[in-house]
Amino acid sequence: EDDGPQPEKHCGHGRGGMGEEVSRKEDKRFITGRGNYVDDIKKPGMLHCEIVRSPHAHARVKDIDGSRAEAMDDVVAVLTAEDLLEHDLATMPTLMDDTQDVLVNDKVKFQSQEVAAVIAKDRYAAKDGAERVEVDYEVLDPVVDAADALEEDAPLIRDELDDQEDNHIFDWETGDREATEAVFDDAAVTIEEDMEYQRLHPAPIETCGAVADWDPGMDKMTVHMTSQAPHAHRTLFSQVSGIPEHKVRIVSPDVGGGFGNKVPIYPGYVVAAAASYVLEEPVKWVEERSENIQTTGFARDYDMTGELAATEDGEITGVKVDVLANHGAYNAAAQPSKFPAGFFNIFTGSYDIEAAYGSLTAAFTNTAPGGVAYRCSFRVTEAVYLIERLVKVLADELDVDPAEIRRKNFIPSEAFPYESATGWNYDSGDYEKALDKALEMADYDHYREEQQRRIEEDADKLLGIGISSFTEVVGAGPGKQCDIAGIEMFDSADLRVNPTGNAVLRVGVQTQGQGHETTFAQIVAEELGMDVDSITVEHGDTDTEPYGLGTYGSRSTPVAGAAAAVAARKVRDKAKSIAANELEAAEEDIEWDRESGEFHVAGAPDRSITITEIAAGAYMNHPDSEEPGLEATNYYDPPEMTYPFGSYIVVVEVDRETGEVDFEKFVAVDDCGNRINPMIIEGQIHGGLAQGIGTAMMEEVTYDDNGNVTGGDFMNYLLPTANEIPNFETGHTVTPSPHHPIGAKGVGESPTVGSPPAIVNAVTDAMTHAGVSHVEMPMTPDVVWEHLDEVGLAQ
């Protein structure tokens, strides 16, 4: 009953096609220790690079003395900005048209910024060498908070930029201000809430690293690196280094998690490449955990004030938001360039709201640069958090059940395709169905009664129930709307069927653990009727793969997944004429039977042939009308993004004595359109929910007033472990995307985007009866206890 309309019939034909729980092909090498990560790469004569980092957040570099390091036996070189300047490599472009120092040329702008590099024969020597580099700093006053940075007397961070007189970067607005003000003026009810989305770190298990290898014989630079976007990185490498693009090869081997952290180019990659070029030896740079947390792309850091306008009976008529964004010392957010605040203007969420207006100001601070899309499509996480929190606040204001107020305001399923007040074109949705399913799975009415009972009995542990009915936007492009550093966000697939009937699919996206080697093979298996085991998926080598924009923002399935399906259909079209030749029938009499995975002659089902059997014919007995071979390429520019959605319901127990929060129930109903591999989707949901719990309950990169990163290692930046993760109950509905060739939407980021508001809504809900309207993340026990204490609930 959940499997709604299908754009094309998917049969799960038993050969590993759509909807089958095929075991992950990649797991054999991962669980037998045969994964191949950057740090596994060893090359003859390979040198090691260690970065010297600033202990200060804001300081002028007066002098760098590397002589004590250079005097060490195994140290080969000490590099500073001066050395890089010789090769025009002292600076590099960020993802938002800013320019970042590769090694500090004049002034340090955040703690742990790259100041010099030591190249040595082994990693220990490089580290010892780095400790002996002496840097003379003139320490300056830092500013780490975005609001403070915009004060008139704040220290000017970017004094090297002409025309930069303060720390203001840009203002942005969206929606219709006047119409929204008018709706607010007429509203029977309005609510307002301040909320912060704290600075987070994407924290992949594998930190960033590279092995750069300049080959002077071939004039070619090969860089093995932890990249979520190898082709885009090749273009950037070529632009920065001046090495022609066909002489740059980026290889992304196995990548141990990316989550947006491996989208930007970091100074370490450039230093390793520059060192290899100068020294003519391979150079490896692999950062440590604290370097990863303290210096690479952070996420979120939005300070938001949101408002809703509504009628007395809870119809939402307007939404307003004002944001202060901390972008760190350089403007390096990963945003498709036509959207300076990313996709934040999706903040009308799942609701049919008449008027919307948003404004945002971005500021420089003495903190690491970032604003990457951490398991998220460019600020959609902040937008979802905002609207889902506001809806809960409104429900409490009106004393209406939060499920009912959502139901009342949902975009109705018959309204799709739907254009939101801020101009987004939602492809398909059935929000009420997902909510109803979640309510039933969560035994919602029972928990509401139990909550009331505990309040009446003055119980030690309060119950809170939180809902989030989120809408996501994933699958950037279209190219006309979205680009990274000017390159349109299409994606690609190249499919070659071999004479012996197996195939290689090469894709422009880059898995970091999501299981593409399995699911992309399933798409081809579905389209060509082949066995999934006879299809190999390759990615991550720019010398062989077609150009693609990489994997982030759950774009792989919506974009490259579509390209794989279209390429397979092109192959099928060609195979049809070969089938006619082999079956000695006219091409118009040949029919494709998806169920059996065969072509057969119309009216004569026993005269049939599979694509595997045809493959030989394509090379040995091709029809005169066709070229030999059986292959096709597709570059797919999506007509629109896809809009997965879901309803999550979280029940928590809040301990009035300790402020501790326990998860009593955690229900997640997701809809990602047609499902390729339910088992992999389940894994994606579990992982993303764990990250959502980390966000809501414990994670934050913090700074002290001197600009020291106080949450810069895993002792202080707390990740959830199995101990903190409850049992998830997952469910799904299926609302296919009408414009995607296989009706699929992305899913990877939905749980990380959708779950934090459900969790915060739950914890707040436990204290709503006493007047608590909001609890800031991370909701550590002390934070929760403060709220309990404030409203007289603490014991």
Give yes or no for a contact between 180 and 357, defined as CB atoms under 8 angstroms apart.
yes
Of 512 and 764, the one with the shorter C-beta distance to ligand CDP is 512
Of 517 and 598, the one with the shorter C-beta distance to ligand CDP is 517
Catalytic residue among 208, 376, 482, 672: 376
Phi and psi of 84, rounded to 5°? -70, -35
CA dihedral of residues 205, 211, 212, 216 (deg, nearest 10) = -160
Options 667, 693, 701, 744; binder of ligand CDP; rule CB under 6 A: 744
* Tokens of residue 338, six digits: 């036509």
Rounded CA-CA distance 339/360 in Å is 12
Is 414 among the residues known to form the active site?
no
Shortest distance in whole angstroms from residue 511 CB to ligand CDP: 7
Of 249 and 555, the one with the shorter C-beta distance to ligand CDP is 555
Burial (0-12, 13-18, 19+ Cβ within 10 Å), 792: exposed
Rounded CA-CA distance 151/148 in Å is 5
Q: Which stretch binds ligand CDP (CB under 6 A): 347-355, 431-439, 510-518, 569-577?
A: 510-518
Shortest distance in whole angstroms from residue 508 CB to ligand CDP: 12
Q: Which stretch binds ligand CDP (CB under 6 A): 305-313, 379-387, 564-572, 739-747?
A: 739-747
Closest among 411, 421, 100, 435 to 268, alpha carbons compared = 100
Of 331 and 691, the one with the shorter C-beta distance to ligand CDP is 691
Shortest distance in whole angstroms from residue 560 CB to ligand CDP: 8
Catalytic residue among 375, 555, 594, 675: 375
Binding letters toward ligand CDP, positions 632-671, x by CB under 6 A:
----------------------------------------
Of 554 and 691, the one with the shorter C-beta distance to ligand CDP is 554
Q: Which stretch binds ligand CDP (CB under 6 A): 3-11, 55-63, 190-198, 742-750?
A: 742-750
- In this structure, the number of other CB atoms found within 10 A of the CB of residue 321 comes to 26
Binding letters toward ligand CDP, positions 139-178, x by CB under 6 A:
----------------------------------------
Give yes or no for a contact between 287 and 271, defined as CB atoms under 8 angstroms apart.
no
Phi and psi of 63, rounded to 5°? -160, 145
Q: Which stretch binds ligand CDP (CB under 6 A): 376-384, 645-653, 663-671, 743-751?
A: 743-751
Options 349, 540, 692, 746; binder of ligand CDP; rule CB under 6 A: 746
Rounded CA-CA distance 551/735 in Å is 23
* Tokens of residue 297, six digits: 């792309």
Of 594 and 732, the one with the shorter C-beta distance to ligand CDP is 732
Shortest distance in whole angstroms from residue 230 CB to ligand CDP: 14
Rounded to the nearest angstrom, the gap between the alpha carbon of residue 125 and the centroid of all alpha carbons in its chain is: 36
Is 375 among the residues known to form the active site?
yes
Shortest distance in whole angstroms from residue 749 CB to ligand CDP: 7
Angle (deg, nearest 10), helices 402-409 and 431-442: 160
* Tokens of residue 41, six digits: 């790469």
Rounded CA-CA distance 711/709 in Å is 6
Binding letters toward ligand CDP, positions 550-589, x by CB under 6 A:
-x--xxxx--------------------------------
SS3 223: strand
Rounded CA-CA distance 168/150 in Å is 6
Burial (0-12, 13-18, 19+ Cβ within 10 Å), 217: exposed
- In this structure, the number of other CB atoms found within 10 A of the CB of residue 404 comes to 12
Size, binding site for ligand CDP by CB under 6 A: 23
Q: Which stretch binds ligand CDP (CB under 6 A): 413-421, 433-441, 447-455, 509-517?
A: 509-517
Those residues whose C-beta lies under 8 Å from the C-beta of residue 719, and which sit 6 or more positions away, are 203, 694, 698, 699
Catalytic residue among 113, 228, 510, 684: 228
Question: Which of the 8 DSSP states describes residue 769?
Answer: G
Rounded CA-CA distance 430/432 in Å is 6
Shortest distance in whole angstroms from residue 385 CB to ligand CDP: 20
- In this structure, the number of other CB atoms found within 10 A of the CB of residue 206 comes to 21
Of 17 and 402, the one with the shorter C-beta distance to ligand CDP is 17
Of 743 and 778, the one with the shorter C-beta distance to ligand CDP is 743
Exposure of 159 in the CB half-sphere (CA atoms within 13 A): 14
Of 26 and 382, the one with the shorter C-beta distance to ligand CDP is 26
Rounded CA-CA distance 342/322 in Å is 15
Q: Where are the alpha helices (DSSP H) in 162-221?
A: 177-186
Under rule CB under 6 A, which residues in 667-726 are in contact with ligand CDP? 672-677, 680-681, 684
Give yes or no for a contact between 428 and 737, defined as CB atoms under 8 angstroms apart.
yes
Binding letters toward ligand CDP, positions 6-25, x by CB under 6 A:
--------------------
Judged by CB under 6 A, does residue 125 bind ligand CDP? no
Binding letters toward ligand CDP, positions 511-530, x by CB under 6 A:
---xxx--x-----------
Closest among 564, 588, 578 to 630, alpha carbons compared = 578
Of 660 and 682, the one with the shorter C-beta distance to ligand CDP is 682
Shortest distance in whole angstroms from residue 334 CB to ligand CDP: 14
Rounded CA-CA distance 565/615 in Å is 18
Shortest distance in whole angstroms from residue 408 CB to ligand CDP: 29
Shortest distance in whole angstroms from residue 561 CB to ligand CDP: 6
Shortest distance in whole angstroms from residue 343 CB to ligand CDP: 15
Of 8 and 245, the one with the shorter C-beta distance to ligand CDP is 8
Of 534 and 677, the one with the shorter C-beta distance to ligand CDP is 677
Shortest distance in whole angstroms from residue 36 CB to ligand CDP: 19
Options 747, 753, 758, 779; binder of ligand CDP; rule CB under 6 A: 747
Rounded CA-CA distance 262/369 in Å is 14
Give the C-alpha distances (Å, rounded to integers) separating 481 from 142, 556, 601. 37, 17, 45
Is 627 among the residues known to form the active site?
no
Q: Where are the extended beta strands (E) located within 339-380?
A: 355-363
Is 613 among the residues known to form the active site?
no
* H helix count then E strand count, the chain: 19, 32
H or E, element range at 606: strand 604-610
Shortest distance in whole angstroms from residue 669 CB to ligand CDP: 15
Catalytic residue numbers, as ranges: 228, 375-376, 749
Return residues touching ligand CDP (CB under 6 A): 514-516, 519, 551, 554-557, 672-677, 680-681, 684, 744-748
